[in-house]
Amino acid sequence: MINQTIMNQIGCDKYTEHRQELIAAFKEVRQQTLNLTSTLSAEDMQIQSMPDASPTKWHMAHTSWFFEAFILAKFQSGFSWHDPMYHKLYNSYYNALGEPFSRAKRGMITRPSVDEIRDYRENINARMTTLLTECRDAQFKEIAPLLVIGLNHEQQHQELILTDIKHALFQNPTYPAVFPHDGARETQPDQRWLAVEGGEVSIGYAGDGFCFDNELPRHRVLLDDFEISNRLITNAEWLEFMQDGGYEKPLLWLSDGWAWKNENQAKAPFYWVHEDDEWQAFSLAGLRSIKPNEPVTHINYYEADAYARWTGCRLPTEQEWEHAATLLSAKDADEVLCLSQGLSQGLRWEWTSSAYLPYPGFCPAIGNVGEYNGKFMINQMILRGASGATQCGHSRFSYRNFFGPSARWQFSGVRLVRLD
Ligand SMILES: [Fe+2]
């Protein structure tokens, strides 16, 4: 766990002198994927419950393919594919590497089996460990940046394994409890508004360690003063919105949101089930009563936006969120913890009102890995923070998560900013 955290804090000029820690981080991250999936059956791992969610088995293979395609294929002497067919099946969206298999049909890949995918993982682990251990320093210097991207990539998929399997398990009428806990059951403190001074502020990653290309370049923006809530919106507050007819008032909704709501007959957050005269929510630990003081979860951008309008407040922009988190974390006060716990402890990904766009002067990562982020900068909204399903040490204040405005299956919540 220690190595997983520090891998993002080492500057790339120091990768060579930290070779052993990076090899240890590789082993830890790879093992963590297996740990997360240890309570799943082969049937659980096969299913794809919607086009946006991938089978666990596919995530396990794809994260291995990433190391094979971006590192072993380039740097291993005498390289050959573990299985040439895997190169097509487990390429997600890297068109420069060949035509990927249909995303919506990943659940149809019944062969290779889960056991064969486990063998694939072991094969990649062994070849990677040999390469990382035996290569010369000059080569390690070239490999290490791709290794760190690959490890952060696998951590992103670890969160997706949880969000995707939650969606799949929810389709079961038995609401199975497959994990010991949901990792997301925290009470919220009393509401307070935290004043944040605006001005000309810098946004984007500023440290020496790892960040994704979409967090750069650091640049200046002009912000007015604003006030941000010390906590996330709770289930109790969301229930008030529902009881006030929030889902039935067209003036609260964006046009696309209203169409989405009608088409999907949305009346409550995703995974909420009205049973036994009360609202319950499906979690990775099964169906449970709604706890009033916990942050509301699994709402999409349209719902977050409508809720904010109902309160007379608004969602933060991503620049306001990052500036507030950075500024308040530098102060030594209890109130600061309320805001930064969304990041350091992981509560919910927080919707912002910002579209996912390139920062001025954005340069995609060099090489084929340049397809990682940049090409998705269209039709998506930014979420900031982290969730209970985010791996420890993976996120940071400049981290930009992104999903389409109708996406509800991520662990997403709402934090408000006051208008004046
Ligand atoms: Fe991926």
- Separation of 157 CA from ligand 1 center, angstroms? 7
- Confidence at residue 332, expressed as pLDDT on a 0 to 100 scale: 53
pLDDT tens per residue across span 87-121: 999 999 999 999 999 999 999 999 999 999 999 99
Q: Give the pLDDT band (50/70/90) at residue 347.
A: confident
- Separation of 247 CA from ligand 1 center, angstroms? 34
- Separation of 31 CA from ligand 1 center, angstroms? 17
Query: What are the two backbone dihedrals, phi and then psi, of residue 300, each rounded to the nearest 5 degrees?
Result: -95, 180
- Separation of 198 CA from ligand 1 center, angstroms? 36
- Separation of 150 CA from ligand 1 center, angstroms? 9
- Confidence at residue 189, expressed as pLDDT on a 0 to 100 scale: 85
Residue range 312-323: average pLDDT? 97
- Separation of 213 CA from ligand 1 center, angstroms? 15
pLDDT tens per residue across span 159-212: 999 999 999 999 999 999 999 876 555 778 888 999 999 999 999 999 999 999
For residue 302, pLDDT beyond 90: yes
- Separation of 66 CA from ligand 1 center, angstroms? 7
- Neighbour tally for 326: CB within 10 Å: 16
- Confidence at residue 319, expressed as pLDDT on a 0 to 100 scale: 98
- Confidence at residue 420, expressed as pLDDT on a 0 to 100 scale: 61
- Separation of 162 CA from ligand 1 center, angstroms? 14
pLDDT tens per residue across span 39-49: 999 999 999 99
Which range scores top for mean pLDDT: 243-247, 283-287, 363-367?
243-247
- Confidence at residue 392, expressed as pLDDT on a 0 to 100 scale: 87
- Separation of 394 CA from ligand 1 center, angstroms? 15
- Separation of 155 CA from ligand 1 center, angstroms? 10
- Separation of 90 CA from ligand 1 center, angstroms? 9
- Confidence at residue 355, expressed as pLDDT on a 0 to 100 scale: 98
- Separation of 279 CA from ligand 1 center, angstroms? 35
Q: Give the pLDDT band (50/70/90) at residue 341.
A: low
Residue 419: burial class (beta carbons within 10 Å; 0-12, 13-18, 19+): exposed
CA distance 102 to 89: 8
- Separation of 220 CA from ligand 1 center, angstroms? 31
- Separation of 27 CA from ligand 1 center, angstroms? 18
Hey, which residues does 355 pair with through a beta bridge? 381
Contact partners, residue 162, CB within 8 Å, separation at least 6 = 36, 179, 284, 389
- Confidence at residue 6, expressed as pLDDT on a 0 to 100 scale: 85
Q: Give the pLDDT band (50/70/90) at residue 1.
A: low
For residue 298, pLDDT beyond 60: yes
Task: Quickly list DSSP for 211-246.
Answer: --GGG-S-EEEEE--EEEESSPPBHHHHHHHHHTTG
For the record, the structure tokens of 299 come out as 């709402």
CA distance 77 to 67: 15
Percent of the chain with pLDDT over 90: 88
- For the packed helices 318-329 and 334-341, what is the interaxial angle rounded to 10 degrees? 140
Long-range contacts of 241-249 (CB under 8 A, 24+ apart): 241/307, 241/310, 242/267, 242/268, 244/310, 246/306, 246/307, 246/310, 247/306, 249/310
pLDDT tens per residue across span 135-168: 999 999 999 999 999 999 999 999 999 999 999 9
Percent of the chain with pLDDT over 70: 95
- Separation of 252 CA from ligand 1 center, angstroms? 36
Contact partners, residue 251, CB within 8 Å, separation at least 6 = none
CA distance 245 to 345: 33
Mean pLDDT of the chain: 94
For the record, the structure tokens of 67 come out as 């190391």
Query: What are the two backbone dihedrals, phi and then psi, of residue 281, each rounded to the nearest 5 degrees?
Result: -130, 140
- Separation of 92 CA from ligand 1 center, angstroms? 6
pLDDT tens per residue across span 257-267: 999 999 999 99
For the record, the structure tokens of 385 come out as 């923070």
- Separation of 106 CA from ligand 1 center, angstroms? 13
Residue range 201-226: average pLDDT? 97
- Separation of 377 CA from ligand 1 center, angstroms? 16
pLDDT tens per residue across span 54-66: 999 999 999 999 9
For the record, the structure tokens of 20 come out as 């052993």
CA distance 110 to 25: 31
CA 163 to each of CA 32, 166, 283, 358: distance values in angstroms, whole numbers, following the listed order: 16, 5, 10, 26
For the record, the structure tokens of 272 come out as 């909420």
For the record, the structure tokens of 341 come out as 């716990």
